[in-house]
Structure 1
Amino acid sequence: MKAIHPFARVALASLCAAALALPAAAQVKPGTAPGSNPIIRDKFTADPAPLVVGDTLYLYVGHDEAQRDEMFNMREWLVYSTKDMKTWTDHGAIMNVKDFKWAKADAWASQAIEKNGKFYFYAAVEHDGTHPGKAIAVAVADKPTGPFKDARGSALVTNEMTPKGTHSWEDIDPTVFTDDDGTTWLAWGNRQCYIARLKPNMIEIDGPIREITPPHFEEGPWLHKRGKLYYLTYASLDRKTQRDEHVSYSTATSLDGPWTYRGLLTGSGKYSFTIHPGIVQFKDNWYLFLHNATLAVGDMNGAIGRRAVTVEHLQYNPDGTMKPVVQTEAGVSAPPPRR
């Protein structure tokens, strides 16, 4: 039986109608404190990916442009910056999916990283008919705000490179991480989670692609390290008990594993089927970026294809596990919770 795309499954479910038109009470009120959620209010954004460069945090996001009852319409990636987590500067679009000549649609989740004085940007797109299915692109720039250009002229990862997968959209949501020894790793996936080492040039896979799928993995992996522990945080879905994606995580003492499942980090984003974690340390504090669908822009309410980026304080227990995060409207306009 052909697999049902998870987003299509949502469209068929009764929650679709509710998500496409939010009640007035759910709309974000103007005049709220700087740093409150959602953090970007003049357009719909999703799949947040933070990057710290010196005293500045850059945030890469997808741009939701769905009209009326559309599911997803994403054509470009945007970047914002902040020095205080309260005020954000809009640097505009850094790339359009058309900038990858071999791609035909879908500017989906992305992440950027600094390496060897340059900035590398990894993103999920829909490949053209020469390699059907989702693929991972890589672009490069001299500055975190771009301009970015296709670094290969071809996809870094195509669907046929992961033949054990169950569907054509498994090669999405790249996360990129440089270890203490300077080696950079790429992880990605939908339903299956994959990891591979990158060559020093940052635009080629170096060695085998391994599967590291943790429990209830759906999509949106994010790799980071704190102390001696590696963290794999991701959008999770227990299909027996949950309607919407949550965020779960696993830890390991090596990227080779074994990975220990640690359970839920936070619940679903309000009014949103999808969620996408991005974790970063900035000026001695840790933050968890997410998205929900509570924002209204003009006469357009939040929906499955019209999401809004949020951020919350992130804290750790003495054993290295992350404390559960409660998603709030106050966000980082309020001090971290005392626990």
Structure 2
Amino acid sequence: MKIIDLMTFGALVALGAPFAAAQNPLVQTKYTADPAPMVYNDTIYLYTTHDEDDAEGFKMLDWLLYTSTDMVNWTDRGAVASLKDFKWIDKDNGAWAEQVIERNGKFYMYCPIHGNGIGVLVADSPYGPFKDPIGKSLVWQKEHWNDIDPTVFIDDDGQAYMYWGNPDLYYVKLNEDMISYSGDIVKLPHIEDYQEGPWFYKRNGHYYLAFASTCCPEGIGYAMSDSPTGPWEYKGHIMDHTQRTRGNHPGIIDYKGKSYVFGLNYDLLRIETDKHKERRSVSAAEMHYNPDGTIKEVPYWKDNVLEQIEFFNPYRRVEAETMAWGYGLKTAPLADGGICVNNIDNGETLTLRGVDFGKKGAKNFKAATRNAKQGAVIEVRLDSDKGPVVATLPLKSSADFSLSECKVKGAKGVHDVVFCFKGDGDNLFEWDYWQFN
């Protein structure tokens, strides 16, 4: 059992654990960085890099995907690509900041291969599988190692652009096939406070280039232009430099009438240690524009409250790896391509926010689990881990996933749902999915 002392409890409250109002970082089961959100078919697809649990420096082997429709409950979709997908390189580390964009029903992932330029993968689905269509780098300026952090945008006239670079900034015009380019690589004049991690987009006729601002610590700066190729005018910070984090890396979207900035921090790591290690976590905050298109500065992640933008429906199969908060838990791939929650210890919890049971309420609860220890139980509580118990589910002991079911009493209206895990010791069971009826 992982022990949480009073100091850690305070850190969790500050981070936005279920007993606090905020909701950051977005993912707690893995270390995630370099957020690249994409809105497609009314869903946010959040692609991230992945810092390994034992990383001291940068140890990054693959790219992950999480999805949400409400900004606070996120479903782990697993690793969608890795360095192994580029057969023309021999690297076991260096899966740095990527971005995915859709065009004509295909999804293009632009990936830096540090020291080998920028590669591109393509898939027929945002979930992958992503494959290498060209078998070589898309861009590689061999005279330096600046070719990292690609960001791609398709303008209203159909012309696509890719920006990238640390510490210098470059762009090319991509062809319609999105896997080749025309013309020269253009190096732009230095933008004040620019360091790395550009994010290129357009909104209400203005072109924006957000970026990680000068290290260290990094903030999130931005520049604006009337043209997709500049000149770029520095406008200030979206989030100022702060000693509370070392790095940052922006991703920006509009979704369901609101604007959001995503970035990274070391807040989850700080629960465990104050020593610096490259184990980062993605966070998000609502962002607001002024009438002239400039951006209002956003407070540091932990000083924000991320509001849920629609209630969560429990009356369907819900993958167990969907959560607002699950610190201490882990997720793992299944043989059928799915994901399960594991590393479930006595006393730990998994929380979903804003679950709508309706006026009639739920009558039954079922969960698919395997390898349950004798006496392992899922206790369902409302609003907090001290809230009223509405269901107690003893789990069947089975080597294969099997359903256990119990009655529910008192689950009506909208509540946070906290699944509390009870049993003897650690690794109580593995959890595939659940559903209320």
> How high is the TM-score relative to the length of structure 1?
0.81
1:84 is paired with a residue whose SS is coil
Candidates 112, 127, 130, aligned match of 1:148: 130
Structure 1: state its 5+ residue gaps: 1-22, 127-132
Aligned to 2:145: 169
Greater radius of gyration (CA)? 2
Q: Is the 8 A contact 1:124 1:137 kept in 2?
A: yes
Deviation string 1:47-89 (CA, Å, 9 cap, x unpaired) is 0000000210100000001526x21100000000001111111
Q: Within 5 Å, give how 1:153-232 maps onto structure 2.
A: 153-160=135-142, 163=143, 168-212=144-188, 213-232=190-209
CA separation in 1, counterparts of 2:163 and 2:219?
19
Higher alpha-carbon deviation: 262-271 or 82-91:
262-271
Deviation string 1:246-278 (CA, Å, 9 cap, x unpaired) is 111110011132211101221246643221000
Q: Is the 8 A contact 2:37 2:47 kept in 1?
A: yes
The one-letter code sitting in structure 1 at the alignment partner of 2:128 is: G
Aligned to 2:374: none
Q: Is the 8 A contact 2:285 2:306 kept in 1?
A: no
Aligned to 2:262: 289
Aligned to 1:17: none
Aligned to 2:344: none
CA separation in 2, counterparts of 1:317 and 1:144?
33
User: Is 2:304 aligned against 1:327?
Assistant: no
Q: Is the 8 A contact 2:147 2:164 kept in 1?
A: yes
Seen in structure 2, the aligned counterparts of structure 1 residues 302 and 114 have a Cα distance that, compared at 3 Å, is farther
Aligned to 2:97: 109
Q: Is the 8 A contact 1:135 1:172 kept in 2?
A: yes
Deviation string 1:201-248 (CA, Å, 9 cap, x unpaired) is 1001211111223112110000011111100110111xxxx7311111
Deviation string 1:162-220 (CA, Å, 9 cap, x unpaired) is x5xxxx33100000001001111100000101011101110012111112231121100
The one-letter code sitting in structure 1 at the alignment partner of 2:65 is: V
CA separation in 2, counterparts of 1:222 and 1:248?
10
Higher alpha-carbon deviation: 202-211 or 23-32:
23-32
Deviation string 1:3-45 (CA, Å, 9 cap, x unpaired) is xxxxxxxxxxxxxxxxxxxx85656464346871101011100
Q: Is the 8 A contact 1:270 1:293 kept in 2?
A: no
Question: Whose RCO is larger (CA < 8 A, sep 6+)?
Answer: 1
Q: Is the 8 A contact 2:22 2:302 kept in 1?
A: no
Candidates 263, 274, 285, aligned match of 1:312: 285
Higher alpha-carbon deviation: 26-35 or 220-229:
26-35
The one-letter code sitting in structure 2 at the alignment partner of 1:138 is: V
Identical-residue share of aligned pairs (%): 43
CA separation in 1, counterparts of 2:242 and 2:68?
23
User: Is 2:52 aligned against 1:65?
Assistant: yes
2:84 is paired with a residue whose SS is helix
Seen in structure 2, the aligned counterparts of structure 1 residues 243 and 298 have a Cα distance that, compared at 3 Å, is closer
The one-letter code sitting in structure 1 at the alignment partner of 2:81 is: M
Q: Within 5 Å, give how 1:231-242 maps onto structure 2.
A: 231-237=208-214
CA separation in 2, counterparts of 1:98 and 1:302?
31
1:52 is paired with a residue whose SS is strand
Seen in structure 2, the aligned counterparts of structure 1 residues 29 and 331 have a Cα distance that, compared at 3 Å, is closer
Aligned to 1:43: 30
The one-letter code sitting in structure 1 at the alignment partner of 2:205 is: K
The one-letter code sitting in structure 2 at the alignment partner of 1:263 is: G
CA separation in 2, counterparts of 1:284 and 1:29?
24
The one-letter code sitting in structure 1 at the alignment partner of 2:196 is: E
Q: Is the 8 A contact 1:156 1:204 kept in 2?
A: yes
The one-letter code sitting in structure 2 at the alignment partner of 1:171 is: D
Seen in structure 2, the aligned counterparts of structure 1 residues 115 and 301 have a Cα distance that, compared at 3 Å, is farther
Deviation at 1:284, TM superposition (A): 1.2
Q: Is the 8 A contact 1:274 1:304 kept in 2?
A: no
Seen in structure 2, the aligned counterparts of structure 1 residues 142 and 331 have a Cα distance that, compared at 3 Å, is farther
CA separation in 2, counterparts of 1:298 and 1:320?
37
2:122 is paired with a residue whose SS is strand
> How high is the TM-score relative to the length of structure 2?
0.64
Aligned to 1:96: 82
Aligned to 1:12: none
Candidates 65, 70, 77, aligned match of 1:84: 70
